[in-house]
Amino acid sequence: MPGPNARQTSPESAGRQLPHLPSNEDLRAFTDKLGPVVSLAHWQRGDCCDAIVANGGIGWVLSGIVHKCVIHESGQRRIVDLMMRGDFLGMRTDDARLFSFEASTDETLTARITRRDFNTLAELRPSLYQFFHESACQTIARLEDHILVQGRTTSMQKIASYLLLMSRRLSAQQDDAPVLLPVSRYDIADHVGIAVETVSRAITELRRQGVIELETPRCLAMKDTQKLADGVPDRR
């Protein structure tokens, strides 16, 4: 069941979506095939989305972004993953116990199904399970890439690699096409595990060196991908 701040809507009202795999058509078809066992919820920035994975639920993002986080005893937040359109939540049965989920953007739309209903339908329609499997493989590849980012030597290398991967994820065009970052510098700091001041200094230095170009604080283009691509796999 969606949380108290969520409101029901339909797949047709998902609105403009981020250019992230799987395609709009595949995602809509996947959601529609599941039928009435799917519940949709609309979230605003900052809403807690834990209800999606409560009681063993499986969810996926139709539009917007959901943070998958760990909240330490000190209250410090650490972002584990950024869930974008087509990404699944609750693939592990212990996600609800280990992680917290939060909408990062306004007008975030998610779908939810119980694990029991999903398993039943997957047995009847193997193509649905294949879709789920492909999403799981994408998640594994994304987390592997993030491990490589965190393994870079300097903070500037980490931020450069992070921005390059984010640019590739958001854009189906060339690396130097401008993309609008859907996360703040505070979010980047929480995701990479460094101070927000360090993130700002690294971005400033990358801009000074001509490696990136900023049209606005969040709209950037990669201008020297050769300098950034070392150690970053190109999965496109």
Contacts of residue 186, Cβ cutoff 8 Å, sequence gap at least 6: 196
- Fold of domain 151-228: Arc Repressor Mutant, subunit A (1.10.10)
pLDDT band at 236 (very low <50, low <70, confident <90, very high): low
- The better pLDDT of the pair 27, 111 is held by 111
* pLDDT tens string 25-37: 677 777 887 889 9
Rounded CA separation 162/141 (Å): 14
Contacts of residue 30, Cβ cutoff 8 Å, sequence gap at least 6: 22, 128, 131
Domain ranges across the chain: 11-128, 151-228
Torsion of CA 152, 162, 178, 25, to 10 degrees: 140
Domain 11-128 classification at class level? mainly beta
**Residue 156, phi then psi, degrees to nearest 5:** -65, -40
Rounded CA separation 129/149 (Å): 30
* pLDDT tens string 169-219: 887 545 567 888 888 999 999 999 999 999 999 999 999 888 888 888 888
